[in-house]
Structure 1
Amino acid sequence: MDFILFAVPFFFVLIAVELLADRWRGLRTYRLADAINSLSAGVLSTTTGLLTKSVGLLTYAFALEHISLFRLAGDQAWVWVLAFVLYDFCYYWLHRLGHERNVLWAAHSVHHQSEEYNLSTALRQTSTGFIFSWIFYLPLALLGVPLLVFVSVAALNLLYQFWVHTRHVPKLGWYEWIFVTPSNHRVHHAQNPLYMDRNYGGVFIVWDRLFGTFQEEDERTPVIFGVTTPLRSWNPLWANLQFYAQLAADARRTRHWADKLRIWFMPTGWRPADVAERYPLTKPDLSQFTPFEIALGWRPQVYVTLQFAVYVALGSYLLGHGAQLPLPALWLGWGIMAFGLFVLGALLEDRAWALRVEAMRLALNVPLLALALSSALLPASALAWPALVVYTVVSALGLYCLCRPLGRLTGSAG
């Protein structure tokens, strides 16, 4: 069952509630650019998932058909409970190795790059995790857990993890001993040495207590969120590629052919000795930590926020109609989404070329829609053209208001 699709509106309602709680309690757990960057990564992830989810589903279905030891009935309550618990056990090992092996961390690091911690961080998901994640859930197929049950408990596991991404909920007493909570998941998102690489469970914290990876949140050591190799960008595409690019660069630079291959599968942080010597990486001093920020005026912030809302609507449309759209339409939708979110990230970073690329993005709206309709990639609608014209004209006027008085957004970045 696709619980995620139905939950999306509630995600945004709860984010709004958390924003109100921020104001009421005088906290500052949100920054606009950081939140949009996290949500952009989430929108890109769900759009990418429309093209890649078949990898996990087909491999699971194949394993269920050909190597399962049992045939469990999906109408039995105990099967659902067993599947829910076992899924979280498999998730624990996927999550743990996602922190302990370079190539898996390259995918998972996206979720940890935010230097804030709030409900928008929960939606900050990778677009490349599908490459290896399916392997870790094959034990459920081996035991004969039906595909519908597997998909459903996977969605429920992900839904549970949403609410633990907040700083507004304190420790919860006995509940902390069994389940993942905001407190022990805050530890997981820390870059402090005391907390790093701890608390991997999705729903149950008992796995961490059992396998020695549990760490309690200590009020004497406030959590500093983020990763030790900071992203320092609002670009969701670069967020997904950053660590892969670092690994590829090290693989290219090393003189040893064996290291070019094994760097991908070595423990996180391992680098070939010759590369580490010639290209040392410095880690930030946490005692001097300051979150990444680029000052923008209120007008560009409003413009980017409204444009991002359009992409949320587009992503929701693709998510809701993905099963009915032909594959070329999904690829076109993904391309439009990826390019648009990239441009919005550039605007948030105040890149010198961002306004020109944004103008090009708006100019491409008409030929892209014409291509989609003429190729029957999208269902014809009498409202499509008027809506697109209105959106493009209003956006162009907004862009003109940014360009004319300012030249650039702040003049602060190159």
Structure 2
Amino acid sequence: MNFVAIAIPFFLLLVGLELLVNWWRKTNYYSTNDAINSLHLGVLSQLTGLAKKAVQFSVYAWIFPYISLFELNSQSVWVWVAGFVVYDFCYYLYHRCSHEINGLWASHVVHHQSEEYNLTTALRQTSGGVVNFVFYIPLAILGFEPIIFIAVGSLNLVYQFWVHTRHIDKMPAWFEFVFVTPSNHRVHHGQNPVYLDKNHGGVFILWDRLLGTYQKELDEEPVIYGVTVPLASWNPIWANFEVYWVLLQDSVRTKKWSDKFRVWYKKTGWRPDDVSEKYPGPKFDPYKQVKFDVANSITTKTYILYQHIVTLCLSLVILYQAPKVDNSFNVVSMIVIGFGLFTLGKLQQNTKWSHQLETLKIALWGSFIVLSPYQFEWPLEISMLYGLSSLIWLAGSYRSKSNNINIKKIIPGN
């Protein structure tokens, strides 16, 4: 059972609740563009995850009879509890390696690109990461059946959602000692030198304490969120490929053949000497962080929010009907939604041709809904109303288009 899919509506409700708390406390922990971009990356991750999870489950189920050393009774509660604990240890190893190896970081970096820290950051997930499956093979060796692997994995992710908040301070000492908490996980998302690559546990912080990667959140060192090389983009497609592209360029440019391969598995940040000398990377001071944002008109902002809500609704329909439809339709759905997320990201940045691309998206989505061989839960009239209202709204946005880039300097800890 995939508990993540079931929990999505509750995740969105909790995001809304945190927004209300944020408004009530006037804490300013949300940036509209950043939050929407995180949610878009979450949507893209869930759609691509349809294929990834199917492959991972199939491979696990296939190898399980051949490599399992024990026959564990899946009807036993203790077997499930043990599976949950073992899975979290495997997750710790995978998560730690994702911060310490270039090729794995290229996928995981997506989750850390946000310069804010709120519940939408939890939903900001990668669309890559197929090789992470090998870290969970020990579960099969120990005899945990495929259904346990899928269920405890999704429960692990559900737990991790609530720790992505700044509205919960430190919790009771015993809880902070054993479990991952908001305070523990805020450290993990910090780019401060003292916090970098710490606190990798998913549910249990004990792994970090035992293996030397634990760091307490310090009152005198407010967490500065984000990555040391900022993304500076609202394009969810580019967010997933940016670091891969950098590594590919380094691999092509270096003259040493061994370095062409080493760049993928060396420690995060490693570059061939000849490449780093000829193409030096940007230098950033985390204590002088500048947040990326783009100024848009009120019309454009409300249009983006409108399209974002439509995107979530359409994506949820596709996700929940995915097991019942043909796989080729799921692939087409992923491409259609992915294109829409790409155009909306371009619109958020006010780039050239962004309005024209968004017009093309509206036409594509309208055609997709009307021509779909499967019945969506709304009549044709609503689809036509969506298309017409979007085009009128988009035209108003174009007339009020602004090309001003709004850069906001951060005060560490705020």
TM-score, structure 2 length as denominator?
0.95
Give deviations 1:146-178, integer Å, cap 9, x for gaps: 111111111111010000000011111221100
Structure 1: how far apart are the matches of 2:316 and 2:131?
Answer: 26
Which of 391, 399, 407 is equivalent to 2:394? 399
Unaligned runs of 5+ in 2: 406-414
Deviation at 1:366, TM superposition (A): 4.2
Deviation at 1:286, TM superposition (A): 2.1
The 1:340–1:210 alpha-carbon spacing in structure 2 relative to 1, beyond 3 Å, is same
Deviation at 1:3, TM superposition (A): 1.4
Whichever residue aligns with residue 412 of structure 1, its letter is: N
Which of 344, 350, 375 is equivalent to 1:379? 375
Unaligned runs of 5+ in 1: none
The 1:365–1:204 alpha-carbon spacing in structure 2 relative to 1, beyond 3 Å, is closer
Structure 2: how far apart are the matches of 1:365 and 1:166?
Answer: 34
Give deviations 1:193-251, integer Å, cap 9, x for gaps: 00000000000000000000000000101100000111000111011001000000111
2:304 corresponds to = 304
Q: Secondary structure at the match of 1:169?
A: coil
Give deviations 1:253-276, integer Å, cap 9, x for gaps: 111111111111111011000000
Structure 2: how far apart are the matches of 1:367 and 1:55?
Answer: 30
The 1:39–1:366 alpha-carbon spacing in structure 2 relative to 1, beyond 3 Å, is closer
Whichever residue aligns with residue 33 of structure 2, its letter is: A
The 1:411–1:92 alpha-carbon spacing in structure 2 relative to 1, beyond 3 Å, is same
Aligned pairs for 1:241-280 (under 5 A) are 241-280=241-280
Aligned pairs for 1:183-198 (under 5 A) are 183-198=183-198
Q: Secondary structure at the match of 1:364?
A: helix
Assess if the C-alpha contact under 8 Å between 1:73 and 1:79 holds in 2.
yes
Structure 2: how far apart are the matches of 1:380 and 1:306?
Answer: 19
Structure 2: how far apart are the matches of 1:162 and 1:291?
Answer: 24
Structure 1: how far apart are the matches of 2:70 and 2:351?
Answer: 57
Structure 1: how far apart are the matches of 2:329 and 2:85?
Answer: 37
1:232 corresponds to = 232
Whichever residue aligns with residue 143 of structure 1, its letter is: L
Structure 2: how far apart are the matches of 1:225 and 1:164?
Answer: 15
1:135 corresponds to = 134
Aligned pairs for 1:9-408 (under 5 A) are 9-129=9-129, 131-172=130-171, 173-369=173-369, 372-373=371-372, 376=373, 378-379=374-375, 383-404=378-399, 406=400
Whichever residue aligns with residue 411 of structure 1, its letter is: N
Whichever residue aligns with residue 131 of structure 2, its letter is: F
Assess if the C-alpha contact under 8 Å between 1:251 and 1:259 holds in 2.
yes
Structure 1: how far apart are the matches of 2:343 and 2:10?
Answer: 27
Structure 1: how far apart are the matches of 2:251 and 2:333?
Answer: 33
2:402 corresponds to = 410
Larger mean CA deviation between 386-395 and 42-51 belongs to: 386-395
Deviation at 1:284, TM superposition (A): 1.3
Give deviations 1:294-353, integer Å, cap 9, x for gaps: 111221111001101111111111111110111121111101111000011011111121
Structure 2: how far apart are the matches of 1:340 and 1:346?
Answer: 10
Assess if the C-alpha contact under 8 Å between 1:126 and 1:240 holds in 2.
yes
Q: Secondary structure at the match of 1:323?
A: helix
Structure 2: how far apart are the matches of 1:213 and 1:223?
Answer: 17
Structure 2: how far apart are the matches of 1:379 and 1:177?
Answer: 50
Give deviations 1:367-397, integer Å, cap 9, x for gaps: 4345x43xx3x2377x543222111011111
Whichever residue aligns with residue 102 of structure 2, its letter is: N
Q: Secondary structure at the match of 2:335?
A: helix
Whichever residue aligns with residue 240 of structure 1, its letter is: N
User: Which aligned segments of 4 or more residues in structure 1 are displaced greater than 6 angstroms?
Assistant: none
Structure 2: how far apart are the matches of 1:193 and 1:287?
Answer: 10
Larger mean CA deviation between 81-90 and 5-14 belongs to: 5-14
Structure 2: how far apart are the matches of 1:226 and 1:178?
Answer: 26
Give deviations 1:12-42, integer Å, cap 9, x for gaps: 1111111111112120110100000000000
Structure 1: how far apart are the matches of 2:203 and 2:293?
Answer: 33
The 1:268–1:380 alpha-carbon spacing in structure 2 relative to 1, beyond 3 Å, is closer
Assess if the C-alpha contact under 8 Å between 1:365 and 1:388 holds in 2.
no
Deviation at 1:290, TM superposition (A): 1.6
Structure 1: how far apart are the matches of 2:61 and 2:9?
Answer: 30
Structure 2: how far apart are the matches of 1:226 and 1:206?
Answer: 25
Structure 1: how far apart are the matches of 2:340 and 2:366?
Answer: 15
The 1:110–1:187 alpha-carbon spacing in structure 2 relative to 1, beyond 3 Å, is same
Structure 2: how far apart are the matches of 1:212 and 1:287?
Answer: 25
The 1:366–1:38 alpha-carbon spacing in structure 2 relative to 1, beyond 3 Å, is closer
Whichever residue aligns with residue 379 of structure 1, its letter is: Q
Structure 2: how far apart are the matches of 1:276 and 1:142?
Answer: 42
Structure 2: how far apart are the matches of 1:57 and 1:283?
Answer: 42
Q: Secondary structure at the match of 1:180?
A: coil
Sequence identity (%)? 46
Whichever residue aligns with residue 117 of structure 2, its letter is: Y
Assess if the C-alpha contact under 8 Å between 2:60 and 2:146 holds in 1.
yes
Assess if the C-alpha contact under 8 Å between 2:99 and 2:105 holds in 1.
yes
Structure 1: how far apart are the matches of 2:369 and 2:89?
Answer: 45
Structure 1: how far apart are the matches of 2:60 and 2:332?
Answer: 27
Structure 2: how far apart are the matches of 1:369 and 1:201?
Answer: 41
Larger mean CA deviation between 281-290 and 198-207 belongs to: 281-290
